[in-house]
C-alpha cells in the first residue's frame, strides 16, 4: 500500500471475517462496519445466489474516521438477471470482469501506488485479447504468456 491508516483493520482480518458472511447483505454490512487500514479488492459470490458475482474495491477514507471508500460491481451474464433497485449504488459488468492490481473505479478518490509494470502489461494484453465469451476464451487469457 501507498499508505496505512492508523487504528484500522488490515485486510487479512477483514478477509477472515468474510468466512462467516452468509449473504450479500451481511457482506455489505461487514465492509461498511470494518474500517480498512489500506486498500484491497474482494471477488466472490454466494452458493444460493447464482445470478451474479461480486467485485468490491475498498480503501480507507482518511477524511472521515472509521469510514471506507467502497465501490461495488455486480458481474452478470444475462441482462435478465439485473435486478436494479433505486437505492442500489453499484456498477454492473456484463459477461465478465477482469480486475488487475490497481483501482479501476476508486482511482479518482484514492491515491494509489504506481501500478506494477507486470500488472499494467497484463491489463493491456487483456484488452488486446478482447471479451471473454466462453471457457476457451478464458483459458486463452489465463494461459497467455506473450508479455
| pLDDT on residue 33 | 94
What confidence tier does 14 reach under pLDDT thresholds 50, 70, 90? Answer: very high
Order of strands across the sheet that contains 91-94: 40-46, 49-60, 68-76, 91-94
Per-residue pLDDT at 81 exceeds 60: no
**Mean pLDDT value of segment 95-103:** 73
Q: Are 5 and 37 in contact (CB under 8 A)?
A: yes
Poorest-pLDDT segment among 32-41, 48-57, 84-93, 116-125: 84-93
Given 3-state DSSP classes, what are the helix, strand and coil percentages for the chain, each rounded to the nearest 5? 30, 25, 50
| pLDDT on residue 21 | 95
Q: Are 52 and 45 in contact (CB under 8 A)?
A: yes
The set of cell numbers assigned to 45 is 459470490
Which residues 6+ apart lie within 8 Å of 17 measured at CB? 30, 34
Q: Comparing C-alpha atoms, which of 137, 50, 136, 133 is closest to residue 95?
A: 133
Amino acid at each position: 500500500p501507498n499508505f496505512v491508516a492508523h487504528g484500522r483493520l488490515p485486510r487479512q482480518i477483514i478477509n477472515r471475517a468474510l468466512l462467516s458472511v452468509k449473504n450479500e447483505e451481511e457482506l455489505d454490512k461487514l465492509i461498511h462496519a470494518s474500517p480498512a487500514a489500506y486498500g484491497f479488492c474482494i471477488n466472490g459470490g454466494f452458493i444460493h445466489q447464482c445470478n451474479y458475482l461480486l467485485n468490491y474495491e475498498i480503501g480507507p477514507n482518511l477524511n472521515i474516521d472509521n469510514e471506507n471508500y467502497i465501490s461495488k460491481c455486480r458481474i452478470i451474464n444475462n441482462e435478465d438477471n439485473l435486478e436494479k433497485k433505486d437505492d442500489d449504488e453499484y456498477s454492473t459488468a456484463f459477461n465478465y470482469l477482469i480486475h488487475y492490481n490497481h483501482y479501476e473505479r476508486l482511482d479518482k478518490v484514492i491515491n494509489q501506488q504506481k501500478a506494477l509494470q507486470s500488472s499494467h502489461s497484463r491489463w493491456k494484453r487483456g484488452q488486446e485479447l478482447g471479451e471473454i465469451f466462453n471457457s476457451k476464451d478464458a483459458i486463452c487469457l489465463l494461459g497467455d504468456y506473450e508479455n
